[in-house]
Every structure is written in structure tokens, then in C-alpha cells.
Structure 1
Amino acid sequence: MIESGVAFRDFSLDNPIRAIREVSHDVTGRRPVRLAGGRQASALDIQREYYTRAVEHLQTREPNAQIEQVVDLWGRQLDAVESQDFAKVDTEIDWVIKRKLFQRYQDRYDMELSHPKIAQLDLAYHDIKRGRGIFDLLQRKGLAARVTTDEEIAEAVDQPPQTTRARLRGEFISAAQEAGRDFTVDWVHLKLNDQAQRTVLCKDPFRAVDERVKRLIASM
């Protein structure tokens, strides 16, 4: 949208870090935060502006099912926050799923949110081990929606996105493992841990082809 020249109202925040903290404690979306020009706006005000522009922009583009799915959920989430009727998204939005789980647990056992059992439940919710984590249990009961299949996840382990630097990371890792080389990889660095300590820095997240990476792979 930015590249296409879509114009937005100025919602620059006076103190972004403080605003994030203030908004994160408000599930109503209506708590005002201070903008750079001295005005105030709520999270809902800001989100509605960007959402409206996104919907308008989509109408000028070729259909894209994935983007339309994201924008649809975005709008339903804003509606849910504004109306405080979270049933509209209570299987699709992570914090809403967790909030519903905690509320049911609190009601059932008559305990405060600060109770240690809730903290334990919080940790168990984020346990990603199949068959043990609470989120996995919720998925199997249909209480947490999925957007991918197990087959798609398995394929993604070996097939990174082909239009970003993830492709470069994947090609480098595969080549290094096949060559039996010791290596280090993070978001931007591809490094062979040999005497020369050869490293390629990949700063552009959308660069999927890089001659430097090709040369590094060829040197193995």
C-alpha cells in the first residue's frame, strides 16, 4: 500500500513504546494514546483508518485469496473489540483464545487471574509439543482454528519461501549439511565456522538471489 502511494491520516505516536504498553492493557481498544501532534486517538481509531484504506486498496487489485482472508479477519477482530463480542473470533485470534480459556478456568474454580494455577495454565498453553500442550488439545477439539495442514507444515520445513532471503538461508543450510560443514545462521548472517570465518550479510529480506551466497556455497 505504501509503495502504491496510498495516503493515510497522520497517526504518528508521541511515544510509541509507552503507547504499546498502554494499549496492551486495554481489551476495549478505546484507551486514548497521545499522538505526535498533541492529539489523541484510540487503538480502534488508528486500526480503523488502516483497515478502511486496506479494504479500498484491495478493490483496485487483482483478487488474492490469502490477502482477502487476512483483511477479513482483521475487520472481524476490530468489530469484536468494538462490540466486546469476542465470539466472532474466539477460535482464530490467539489472545482471544487464551482469554476465553482463562475465563472458563477462573469461573470453574473461582480463582483470580493472579492465581499460580493460571500462570501454570499460561505456560501449558504455549507448550508446542503435540499431545501435551493445551493449544494442541484446543485445536483437536475444534476450539482453535488452523490455517495450515500438517502436510504443508512438513513441506515448509524443507521448502522455505522462494521470494525472500529465507530461500538463501535454506540453500546455504542444505549445502552446509550435505558438505558436513560447521555453520552459523541467523536472520541476516550466513557463516561458515572455518579458519577464514567466511560470512555473508543478507540485509534485504526480499532478496532471494545473491551471488555472494552462491560463491559461499560453491566454496564448500
Structure 2
Amino acid sequence: MTRYMGTETEYGISTPSDPGLSPIVTSTHAVVAYAAMNTGARSRWDYEEESPLKDSRGFDLRRYHTVPVVEPDAVGIANVVTANGARFYVDHAHPEYSSPECSNAYDAMVYDAAGDLVLLKAAADVQSLYEEGVSILKHHDPCPPLKIYKNNVDGKGASYGAHENYQYSRKTDFDVLTQALIPFFVTRNIIIGAGRLGIGEAGEQEGFQISQRADYFHQEISLETTLNRGIVNTRDEPHANAVHFRRLHTIVGDANMSQTSTFLKLGMTKLVIDAIEAGVDFSDLRLTDPVAEIKNVSHDLTLTHELSLADGRRLTAGDILRVYLDRVDPIDQVDERVMTLWGEVLDLLADDPMTTTHLLDWTAKWALIKGYVDRGVPLSDPKLKLIDLQYHDIDPTKSLYHALVRKGRMLTMASEEEIENAVLTPPADSRAWFRGAVSAKFGEDVIAASWQTMILKAGEGTARLATNDVDGMTRETVGAIIDDASTTEELLTGLQGIGVEPAHYVTHHNKNHINKPHQH
């Protein structure tokens, strides 16, 4: 099957001119300003299909007994569906960009990078309003200019997430999947780590390490995403047909600036899941203490640390990743590209990790910091902490990552035009096409939306459309219908012509529900 995937990035946010200002408020300003100045879509999020406390191991802690109704510009919960089918909202005092569903790792990398442009535009919109003395939020002063970072730590002990999502079959044994993935997740940081100055959750020890997130994991398996995090997250919230699918909600990766790191993060993981579902056995790679080893791997810049395996062997992270590479098989050209690059990076890392500074985040950042250390600057120097942070600045005029790109010292895979286009255009081969295209064209008529639903104003009532099939409602199937429709009523009529009926229709006059089966 097509392995649909996507990313969720919680961005770091600050207001340099007013450091004490609540990030909940500033994040809300960013989302609402972007919604107001870039799209007519001010829709609520439809929480009816949400179940973040349902566990793949068979229990459900249930967050909602009734479905909440939250206004789209509510402080701390502001929400907008963007023109590319992504979700841009406030989550845990951070602005979060959740990318649209993509069918391959390359597209997923491009749409992840598009999130940086969405956030950059939001920051510009906030600054424009501030200069005009206008507040987008009632009962709040104008928001001062924002700084936004694509990183995972605040330097004070807190970590915020960069999650990945992969659709997989519900027939796949979760225990088998988990045990096969744990050694991979522990070791893949040598390729996807974003680099971090400081050892320990609060950076209490001096030092530089490979991963920003590694020190924050305390269990092998857990439902938690903010405390007691597990290397494998057990959330069973498929955002699709729950009879057939699950969604692997992966919280163990870093937020990457490097396009190579993002591409490999998504592509390698996709290939490993493919292999697991094809029956490939990875049980011989089981580790004796994965929680300790994820930190050991991250703290060893030489990549010579040998992990202890349950069968008594000792292998380096590179050795283990090489086994995974040898056991996966490509099914398309993107997979082949992933495998070729995966092997090339492993070869470079084995020869000398610093030969990857043009490809990987952690080595690129370490090269910048090491240049000062070699001249006698201590790792505790605030200047180095600024370098650590400034690498992740999404503003190209301030970002050290973008400076490396301009100087030809960091390679990219996607053109600027591709990424800019991905801000405005949804993926053509997933249901994100429908969500994004409808939000862009009929934004004022979108009452609420989610990954699986869209509720539209329609004449004297509202229509709720189900979009459970991730491979449905694509440009091929609904593109012409959306293009030809001038009203939501015409849109619904066109959809009915291909067998898509609203799940229910409610008139404002009598509020009666007319239940109709969803088909397409």
C-alpha cells in the first residue's frame, strides 16, 4: 500500500523586546494573524474524530466525553487549515504546523520545509500589525515582533516536539513493530540529529551532543508525549479508517533544518516499516537497555560507542543502521534514492563524521561551534549557546543554517520554487488536495475541519463531509469539481455526481439530521 506520511513541528517562539510575554498569547497572535491576512478560513477544528488518549495496546483514557466546540481564534487554541491542506494552530504554548498527508518521503520533506515559510509569513504579519498599532486579538495589546526557531529545546529543561506520522496496517502486530523499530529509533539519530549544546535535560553538563531530544526519553514504550516519553509512542489515533489502519505517531526525532536529514528521517523509517510489514525479522537487533543507549549514542560524537545487544554482541550505531539498510527493499524511485543516500551517509560517517557537514544538521552545527572551541572558547560561553540557537532561526537573513546554504556549505534537495509552491498547493495524490483547495476557495464557508472531516455552510444549512480515505478526494477525483464550483452548494452537487454524499445535512430552520451513507 502507499505509505502516507507527514510531520508535526512545534516551533520555538520568543519576543525579544518583551521576554516575559506569554508564548500562549504570542503563538495565538501568530496563527490568527496568518489566518486573517492569508486566508478566509477561520474554521474551528472538528474534534469529533480525535482520540489522543487511545492506546495501541488496547485501552482508552478518553479525553472527551462530549465533543468540544472551540472558536478558531481562541487564545491558546487558535486554528487554521492552510491552502496546502496543512493545519496551523497553537499547541502547548507553541505555534505548530502539521503538514498535509504525503505519499512519499520527498514530498513530505518539501511540505515540512513549507512549514518554515508559513511561520515566517506569520511572523511578518504580526510585525506588520504591530507597526500599525493593531491587535488581532480582542482584549490584548498588539504583539511585538517575534523570533521563531525550528528546534526542540528551550535551554531550561523543556523540550517540544517534532513528530512524524506513518500510516500502517492494523493487521501488523504492534509488539513486533515496536521491537523492530526501537533499535532503529535509538541509532538513526547519527543521521537525523539536529545537534545540541548541553548534556542532560536542563543542559546541566557541558558538552555537545548529536540529538536535541535524546535526553528526554525515559521509557521504551509510552502513550505520553510531554512527560515520561517513550521511544515508541503508543497513540492509536489513525486519522483514517480505523478498521484497516493505524498511524505510527513518532515523537523520537529532532526538528531538522537540513533537507537531507528530513528526507532520510522520513524515507528510512518508511522503508523499515515496509520491511516489517513484509515479514522481515529484526529481532536479532534487540538492545539490552534502549533508554540508556539512545543517550549514549547521542553523547558520542566519534560514533564509536558500541551498543549492547540482547544476544551478547556489541555494535556501533552505524553497524546497526547498516543492517537495517541491508534488509530493506525499494518499491519506487524515491525509495531507491533514499537507500543510495542512506548508504552514502553511513560511509561518510564511518570514515569521519565531519565529512557530512554539507548534509547533516548535527555535524554542520558542531563544525561551527568547534571552530570557536579550537580557538580556546569554552563550551559554556554564551556566544556558543547563541550559535546553537541561531542555527535554527527560520529567518533566512538571521539563520546560520541558511547562511551555510548561501555559501554552498550545506546542500539542499528541493528548490526554493518547489517549497514556495508547497505553501499554496496541496499534495495532488491525497485527501489533502480537497481540504486545502476547499479551504483556499471557500474559506469563509468552512465552519470546521479535521483530517477526516469538513463541515461547510451550504445554503440554509451545513453539510458534514467525511474524508476517511487518505488516498481519496485527490486532484484527479475532485479537482475539476472544485474548480467548476462557484458556491459550496455547487460543490456539494458536483460531489454528489461522483457518489460523495454528506455524512449529514443540518438546516438552520429545523436542525433535523438527514443521515446519508458516505461513499466514494
| Cα distance in 2, alignment partners of residues 106 and 193 from structure 1 | 58
Alpha-carbon shift at residue 26 of structure 1 (Å): 1.6
Q: For the residues of structure 2 that align with 1:193 and 1:34, how far apart are their CA atoms?
A: 55
Distance 1:147 1:101, change over 3 A: same
CA separation in 1, counterparts of 2:502 and 2:384?
52
Alignment partner of 1:84 is 2:371: no
Deviations 1:125-169 (A, max 9, x none): 100112121111111111111111111011111223334454454
The answer to whether the aligner puts 1:72 opposite 2:340 as a matched pair is: yes
CA offset digits 1:91-150 (Å, max 9, x no partner): 111111111111123334x21223211111111110011212111111111111111111
- SS of the residue 1:105 aligns to: helix
Residue type of the alignment partner of 1:75: G
Instruction: Give SS of 1:143's match.
Output: coil
1:161 and 2:161 aligned: no
Query: What letter corresponds to residue 392 of structure 2 in structure 1?
Result: H
Shift in CA distance, 91/72, structure 1 to aligned 2, threshold 3 Å: same
Contact 2:297 2:303 in 1 (8 A): yes
Which letter maps to 1:119?
K
> Secondary structure at 2:315's aligned position in 1?
strand
Residue deviations 1:174-220 (CA, integer Å, cap 9, x gap): 36624264x465xx5657699x9x79696x8xx23269x9737998x
Task: Tell me which amino acid in the other structure corresponds to 2:396.
Answer: R
How far residue 72 of structure 1 moved from its aligned partner, in angstroms, is: 2.5
Unpaired runs of 5+ residues, structure 1, are none
* Letter matched to residue 113 of structure 1: L
CA distance in structure 1 between the partners assigned to 2:312 and 2:373 by the alignment: 40
Going from structure 1 to structure 2, the CA distance change for 1:192 and 1:69 (only over 3 Å counts) comes to same
Identity %: 33
Aligned counterparts of 2:501 and 2:407: Cα–Cα separation in 1: 46
Output the amino acid matched with 2:371. R
2:325 maps to what in 1? Answer: 51
- Structure 1 segment 9-158 matched on structure 2, within 5 A: 10-37=284-311, 39-54=313-328, 57-58=329-330, 64=333, 66-87=334-355, 89-108=356-375, 110-158=376-424
Pair 14,38 (structure 1): closer, same or farther in 2 beyond 3 Å: same
- Give the Å deviation of 1:81: 2.2
CA, structure 1 residues 40+199, in 2 after alignment: closer, same or farther (shift >3 Å)?
A: farther
Over aligned residue pairs, what C-alpha RMSD do you find?
3.6
1:39 offset after TM fit, Å? 4.5
Question: TM-score under structure 2 normalisation?
Answer: 0.34
Residue of structure 2 equivalent to 1:170? 436
The answer for the alignment partner of 1:209 in structure 2 is 472
Structure 2: 5+ residue runs without aligned partners? 1-273, 474-494, 507-520
When the two structures are superposed, what TM-score results if normalisation uses the length of structure 1? 0.72
Contact 1:14-1:35 within 8 A present in 2 as well: yes
* Cα distance in structure 2, aligned partners of 1:17 and 1:81: 23
- Number of aligned residues: 202
CA distance 1:173–1:15, shift in 2 (3 Å): farther
Give the direction of change, closer, same or farther, for the CA distance of 1:5–1:118 in structure 2 (3 Å limit).
same
Larger CA deviation: 66-75 vs 143-152: 66-75
Comparing both structures, which one devotes a greater share of its residues to strand? 2
Greater helix share, structure number: 1
Taking a change above 3 Å as real, the CA distance of residues 218 and 73 of structure 1, as seen in their structure-2 partners, is farther
